[in-house]
Amino acid sequence: MTTVLIVDDQPLQRLGFRMLLESQDDMTVLSEATNGSEAVRLAAELHPDVVLMDVRMPGLDGIEATRRITAVGDRTRVLILTTFDLDEYAYAGLRAGASGFLVKDAQPEDLLSGIRSVATGDAVVAPSLTRRLLDAYAQHLPRPDTPTDGLERPDARLTALTDREREILTVIGLGWTNTEIATRLHLAESTVKTHVGRILSKTGSRDRIQAVILAYDTRLVNPS
C-alpha cells in the first residue's frame, strides 16, 4: 500500500486528488496540508511514501517544504506538481530534492503511475524532458571555482566512480534511457541497471533525477 500526503492550498484540488487516489486499491491518503509548514510537520509525523507537493502556496512554499522534508533523510519522496512543464519552480524543486514533477493537468493514469514510480524509488520525469528543463534553467547553476594554481581538479562527488560509471553518469545527464545506454555502449541492460545503482549509491543521489542534476553540477554535461 502506497501512502500519500496531499499538499495544496486549493480545497477542490485536494478533493480531486483524494478521490482519485482513494479509488485505487494500492493507495491511501494519510492526510492533507494547505501549506508548506503543515506539509513538513505532517511528513515528519506520518512518514508517507509520497508527498504530492504543490509549489505556489501562502507562507512556506512547496520548494522550501521539499528541501526540509528531503533533508531529513527519511524514506519519504516528493512529487512536485506544477502548472507548466518548464516552470522554473519545478527546476528548483528538483534541486531541492524532489524525485520528479508532473503538470497539474496530467492525465489521471499518468499521475497514478507517477506516484507509484516515485514510491518505488524511480523518477517520473522523462529523460528528454529532464534535459530540456535543466538546459532552460542552467543559468541557475553555480559556476565552478577556479583553483588558484590554475589546475583543474575532479569534483569530490565523482572520485569514487570508475571510468565506466563516469561515462554512464555523463550519458544519463544527456537524457539517455537504460535501453539506449545498453545499445550504444554495447552492454546488457541488466549491467546498465547495476552501474546506475552503483552510481546512485556512490554519489549519494536519491534517484535518477538527482544523478542528472549531479552531471550538470559537476560539468560532466554542459547546457546545449
Whether 118 and 77 have beta carbons less than 8 Å apart is answered as yes
pLDDT tens readout for residues 90-146: 677 777 888 888 888 788 998 998 899 888 877 666 555 555 666 665 555 555 554
| CATH code, 139-217 | 1.10.10.10
In CATH terms, the superfamily for domain 2-124 is: Response regulator (3.40.50.2300)
pLDDT at 154: 63
Say yes or no to pLDDT of 77 above 80.
yes
Q: What does the pLDDT average to over 65-80?
A: 91
Whether 208 and 172 have beta carbons less than 8 Å apart is answered as yes
Residue type, 197: G
Per domain, the residue ranges of the chain are: 2-124, 139-217
Say yes or no to pLDDT of 223 above 90.
no
Helices 88-95 and 62-71: crossing angle in degrees, nearest 10, is: 10
Alpha carbon 14 to its chain's center: 22
Query: 78 phi and psi, to 5 degrees?
Result: -115, 130
Say yes or no to pLDDT of 195 above 80.
yes
Tell which residue, 16, 98, 119, has the closest CA to residue 53: 98
pLDDT tens readout for residues 60-71: 999 999 999 999
pLDDT at 148: 47
Tell which residue, 214, 195, 25, 19, has the closest CA to residue 116: 25
H-only helix segments in the chain: 11-22, 36-46, 62-71, 88-95, 108-119, 127-136, 163-173, 178-185, 189-203, 208-217
Which residue did the predictor score with more confidence, 37 or 73?
37
Rounded Cα distance, 8 and 5, in Å: 10
- The per-residue pLDDT of the chain, averaged, comes to 84
How far, CA to CA in Å, does 99 sit from each of 53, 74, 122, 153, 189? 11, 13, 8, 29, 23
pLDDT at 121: 75
Q: Quick one: what percent of the chain has pLDDT higher than 70? A: 82
List of residues 6+ apart from 64 with CB closer than 8 A = 36, 96
pLDDT at 143: 54
Residue type, 219: R
Q: What does the pLDDT average to over 81-86?
A: 69
